[in-house]
Amino acid sequence: MRYCTTIAFCLVLGAAAVAAEYKHVGDFLLQAHFKLTGDKITPIPMKPLAFRVYSDGVHIKVTTEGDDESHTTFAIYRSDGIERQRTGRGALEVIPGLQATSHSGGILRHLRLSREAMTITSFPGVSEQTIVSHAVAAQLKSADPPAHDSQPPKP
């Protein structure tokens, strides 16, 4: 009986570990980075920056391409879609997406994520400035070989 309990406990722990695994959600390329102070918008010069986004269903992890060790983790608080304004019409529509927050080092960050775009808004605690970073979906080059339909070359 004790042996069966130990096996059951190990299976539960293994299932929890698999459930907590982060999976790749998408890649995004930074398109706009600016600072808001009162009613003034100041563009921040930037180099192209690629982001890789992962999720375990509860959290979103954002890394820069090539540096998976350094990341920001956001807690998902809403996953029933995000609103956006239709081009030309002005009406709002709801598209699939989620929203998440991160609070670390005195900075509150808000993430809006859809298949097409990712926006991170940072609110420093002791500043009147807000920083907005907007990235669009991209296909990044990966060092990993494709996992589907890979056939060995014929001799």
Q: For the segment 9-53, what is each residue's pLDDT rounded down to a tens digit? A: 444 444 444 456 999 999 999 999 999 998 999 999 988 899 999
Tell me what pLDDT residue 154 has: 42
Closest to 72 measured CA to CA, from 97, 108, 48, 42: 108
User: Judging by beta carbons within 10 Å of its beta carbon (0-12, 13-18, 19+), is residue 133 exposed, middle or buried?
Assistant: buried
Q: For the segment 47-89, what is each residue's pLDDT rounded down to a tens digit? A: 889 999 999 999 999 998 877 778 999 999 999 999 888 777 7
Q: Write the DSSP assignment of 81-128 as a string of letters.
A: -EEEEPTTT--EEEESEEEEEEEETTEEEEEEEESSEEEEEEEETT-S
- Domain ranges across the chain: 22-138
Q: Which of the four CATH numbers 2.60.120, 1.20.1550, 3.20.20, 2.40.128 does domain 22-138 have?
A: 2.40.128
CA–CA gap between residue 11 and residue 29 (Å, rounded): 40
Tell me what pLDDT residue 6 has: 40
